[in-house]
Each structure stands twice: as structure tokens, then as C-alpha cells.
Amino acid sequence: MAKAIFYALSIMLFFSAASVHAQNRSEGVKTPEVEMQLISAITATGDRTDLPLGLKVRLSEGWKIYWRSPGDAGLPPELSLADEMANSLHTLEMDFPVPSRFSLFGLDTYGYGREVVFPVYVRGHTAGQPLVLTAEINALVCADICIPVGGLLSLDLPAGQSRASADAQDIARFAALVPKDQTGPDIGVEKLAFISDPPRLMLEMAAGTPPLIDVFIETPVQGLGFAQPVAQSPQRPQHPQRPQHPQRYAIEITGTGDISALAGQQAVL
């Protein structure tokens, strides 16, 4: 099932100053290419059973880490409980903010450069108890070459009254960029169709929708990439900021995956 996620040029991002780490113990993974660390949005566990954390990733210049659907190539980062927590009742859930589009080795890929925080939620915590968390991260970071990176991450949160930590703003900023299942009030999608020759998707946006900047397609078919949408010539003059007639876009499909497997799939927009 294909899933399209849209964002408009009008999105504004407000960046806060670099935060100071919360007053709790946190150990991460560090290589010349990337640093990865668990951070917390709260200073203590309080009476919470769901704990808001984040996986903070800082990349050296030119290095990238992947989105949950990486495109033509690549692998998304995976965060899981360490083996020593196999009997724990805790579960981990990691979200992915809207990515950027990169061209690596002539392939379209989606991911993040410089710095990103993946919102992480610890579910099933016993209220009023401290948290001693050990997790395992496995990721692929790429520049001119790709390097697998992995290791153990740990975070301790004491029991006590739960207050916002110094990292809370950073986590909230990236959590606000996690795509939702529904489109915004000013975005209308009429149709998404697969065309086999040449292989492409045809996307039709409703009249009044702002011009589309980019689209990220998710599909269970591995090894496929979807190029940036190209607007098709309108049939009549339109206002450039908010067209009054439906807009059509062509999205080229690339990669080594089975393109024919897209035929007949129902799009979730």
C-alpha cells in the first residue's frame, strides 16, 4: 500500500538555542561520522506510564542518516531494547520527522543531515519507579561511502516529580515535524495513479491547494525511489500561489525493486 506524505513551503520552523542535557545519566555511541544519544523530555518519571524520550543524532559534515523509507538505497535506523531487558515490560516506539531529499551515488534517498532528534516513547513503565533503560541502535550513515554504526545506548531517569527537561524543546520541535496520517486543511488530493510506461506516478491535487514542493512515497516494495514531483503544464492561467484548477504532477519511479508490484495497490493519502 502506498502512502503519500506532503508538506508545503509555507511551513515555518522555529529553532531554539542548543539545549543543556537533562540531569540524568546518559551514555551514547560516538564515531568520527556520527554521535547518537538518548535524551529525555522530563527530569524524572513522576506518575507516568509513557515516558517521552528522544534519540539525538549529530552527524559530521557531509554525512546523512536515513528516514523510515530510505528510497532507492539505504536502511533506516532501528532502536530496540537491549538483550539484558528481554524480560522487561517496557516497549519502545520511535517516530521519524519529515526528511530531506538527498542524491547519493545518483540515487534519490531521504534522510537527515547535521542534526536530528527522533522522538522515542517508552511504553509500559511502572508509575512512580525510576527508569534504567538500555537500548541497542543499528543504523547506516552515508557520505561518499556508507558505514554501519551500532551499539548500546543507556539512559537513567530517577523517580520523583516530572518536570520539563532542558531537552524538552528540542524533542517537541522534531515531534511537531512527524507526518500525520491526514493531510492539512489546505491540502486536497484528488487522485494518485500508477502508470507503467514509462514507470511513474501521476498525482492530482485539488483546486485551491498550494503548489506542491515535494512528496514522499512509502510502499512495502523494497528498492524503489520516487523523484521530486514535476508539475504538468496547466490548461489555463492560474494564480501561482493558490491555483484555482486541479494540478497534475508526474513522479518518476527509479530503483531496482519490482515496479510492476505497484499496479493495483490502493493509495492511502
pLDDT score, position 188: 73
| Distance, CA of 41 to CA of 246 (rounded, Å) | 43
Segment 73-97 mean pLDDT? 91
Residues in the chain: 269
pLDDT score, position 252: 86
Q: Model-level pTM?
A: 0.78
pLDDT score, position 7: 37
> Is the previous residue joined to 198 through a cis bond, with omega within 30 degrees of 0?
yes
| Distance, CA of 36 to CA of 146 (rounded, Å) | 17
- The type of residue at 32 is P
Closest by CA position to 137, among listed 123, 125, 155, 124: 155
- Considering the chain, what percentage of its residues have pLDDT values greater than 90? 45
Interval 129-144: pLDDT, tens: 999 999 999 999 999 8
pLDDT score, position 240: 56
Band the pLDDT of 25: cuts 50, 70, 90.
low
Closest by CA position to 36, among listed 28, 46, 45, 48: 28
Band the pLDDT of 19: cuts 50, 70, 90.
very low
Q: Kindly state the cell numbers that stand for 153.
A: 545506548
Distances (CA, A) of 43 to 56, 170, 176: 17, 14, 21
